[in-house]
Amino acid sequence: MKKEFTFTIKSICLDENYHPSDNTRITTNFANLARGDSRQENLRNALKMINNSFNALAHWDNAKGDRYSVELEIISVDMDIESRGQAFPSIEILKTNIVDHKTNERIEGIVGNNFSSYVRDYDFSVLLLEHNKNKKSFSIPDNFGELHGKLFKYFLNSNVYKQNFSKAPVICLSVSDNKTYQCTENQHPVLGFEYQPNGSSLTEQYFKKMGLQVRYFMPPNSVAPLAFYFVGDLLNDYTNLELISTISTMGTFQKIYRPEIYNANAVAGKCYQPNLKNSDHSLTQIVYDREERGQLAIEQGKFAEEHFIKPYQSILENWSAQYAL
C-alpha cells in the first residue's frame, strides 16, 4: 500500500515588519534581506522597487504610475512523513496579490515566484559536492533530483494545494552564466522577447523532474532575460496582471542578488551570455551578503540530510520506488 504524506500550509505577510521564522532557509531571497541592521530598510526599498516595476509594466489606464501595489505572502509547506506531528519544512514559495487602488479590488496573483527547498540544498550542496569530490571530471549522481521532483509533484497533486491555490505555480529564476541565449522573433506584450538557450542546464534538468518546463523572456524595461518555470501554457494560462506580478517581484530580487546581470548598464543583445564578473552594473540601495549565502546553502543541505534524508531514508526510498515520475 502506497504511503501517504501529510502537508500543512502556513501563510505570513512579507512586508517591512517581516522576521524569518526558525524554519525558513536564510538563503531564501526575502529572508536574506530581513536580517541585520538594515533589515527594515531593505524590505521597504525592495517592496517599493516591486511596486514601481509593476506600475511601469501595467501602464494602461495608469497615467500617474501609482494605480497598483503588490502584496506578498510567504507560503510555508510542512510535510509530515509518519503522521505523528513531526513536520519537516519542505517547501517555501511566494504568492503575489495585486491591489488596484482605482477600483479598490484585490486581485489574486501567482503562486511560486521564489522557490525554496532544504532538499534541493541537500542535492546541490551536499550530494552533488560529495559525488564529485576529488574527481577529475564533473558528473551527476544516479537518480539526482528524483526524490525532490516526486515530492514536489506529489504536493502539487495534493488536495491541500488544490484547496489553497487556483492555478499551477510559476517559478522565476536567473539565467545561467554558462549558457548563451539567442533572441527570437517571438514577442509577448508583457513577457517581452523570447530567448532560446544553446543547451540544457542542470537546473533545467532538475526542475523538469519537478514537472516544470522552462521558457526564457526579457520583459520590457529589463536588461536580461528571466527563466520562467511552469506547468501547462505560460502565455495563455495567466492574465497579464498575474504575469506582471511575477516579473516585478522576481525581477526586483534578481536586481538585488544578481546586479551584474539584472542591473547591468547595458541591455542584453540578440546573442547574450550572462556574466557574473560584469563590472559595468549598478548596485541597489539594499544590503546583503552573497558569500554568506553560499556558505549557508551547505549548512542547510546538511540540516536536510540530518533531519529528513537520513531519518526517513527507508520510507522515502520505498515511497519513491512506487511513485512514478
Residue 105 CA neighbour count, 13 Å, CB half: 7
DSSP code per residue over 51-109:
HHHHHHHS-TT-TTS-SEEEEEEEEEEEEESSSSS-EEEEEEEEEEEEEETTTTEEEEE
pLDDT digits (tens, 9 = 90+) for 254-271: 998 899 999 999 999 999
pLDDT of residue 266: 96
Note the pLDDT tens digit of each residue in 166-196.
999 999 999 999 999 999 999 999 999 999 9
Question: What's 136's DSSP letter?
Answer: S
Q: CA-CA distance, 243 to 188, in Å (whole number)?
A: 11
Cell digits of residue 98: 495585486
* Grid coordinates of 301: 543541505
Q: Which residues of the chain have a pLDDT value below 70? A: 1-3, 20-36, 288-295, 325
Q: What's the rounded Cα separation, in Å, for the pair 89 and 91?
A: 6
Asked if residues 244 and 190 have their Cβ atoms less than 8 Å apart, the reply is yes
The per-residue pLDDT for 294 is 61
- Other C-beta atoms closer than 10 Å to the C-beta of 35 total 16
Cell of 133: 569530490
